[in-house]
Amino acid sequence: MRNTPGVLVRTSPVAVSVSSVVHAPRVHVRPDGADRLLLHDPAVDGAGRSPADRGAGGEGLPSGSGDAGVDRSVVAGVLAAARALYPGLRTATAADVLIGERPIPADGLPVLGRVVDLPDFHFAVSHSGITVSLHVGDLVAAEVLGEDRGDVLAPFRFERFARAGVR
């Protein structure tokens, strides 16, 4: 795994209607319910800091868990990019900043399905979980239940790392 920290900004309720994921050059936008949006700029991933790291560097904004923070300038930059994309967001504020681990397998592909050496153990790890979760859930659940779906999951099995000399 080459997990990386990820930073998301949840907006205050806004009058801009977004019904799908938008991947613009400087900001990614997706609906988050209750008229809020989730904003992401891959360039600022890793900007989250623990309370011990904050020290004299300024207050920052708390994350959703309260365990880390992000500099206000980083959050302001994400909001500015979203406002440039959707001018209707001019009054939006950062209601919350979320920091979490982005699960990214070493080769960038999902790790899915049964593990040969561990009976009754199945993986479902993917960085793109939000976009492929329904299909992955169907495939892995079918395998757990013993249904034969061919070997559609073969390229994504854990054992590929052993073949490549990675563990």
- The answer on 77 and 31 residing in a single domain is yes
| Domain region containing 30 | 4-102
Q: Which two tokens stand for residue 26?
A: 């400087």
Please give the model's pTM, rounded to 2 decimal places: 0.70
Give the pLDDT score at 102: 80
- The answer on 76 and 51 residing in a single domain is yes
Give the pLDDT score at 55: 45
- The answer on 115 and 91 residing in a single domain is no
Q: Which two tokens stand for residue 54?
A: 């904050």
Give the pLDDT score at 166: 62
User: What secondary structure, in 3-state letters, does 81-123 show?
Assistant: HHHHHCHHHCCCCEEEEEEEEECCCCCCCCEEEEECCEEEEEE
pLDDT tens for 99-120 read 888 888 888 899 999 998 997 8
Residues in the chain with pLDDT < 50?
Answer: 50, 52-60, 62-67
Q: Which residues contact 85 (CB under 8 A, 6 or more apart)?
A: 22, 24, 26, 27, 29
- The answer on 120 and 87 residing in a single domain is no
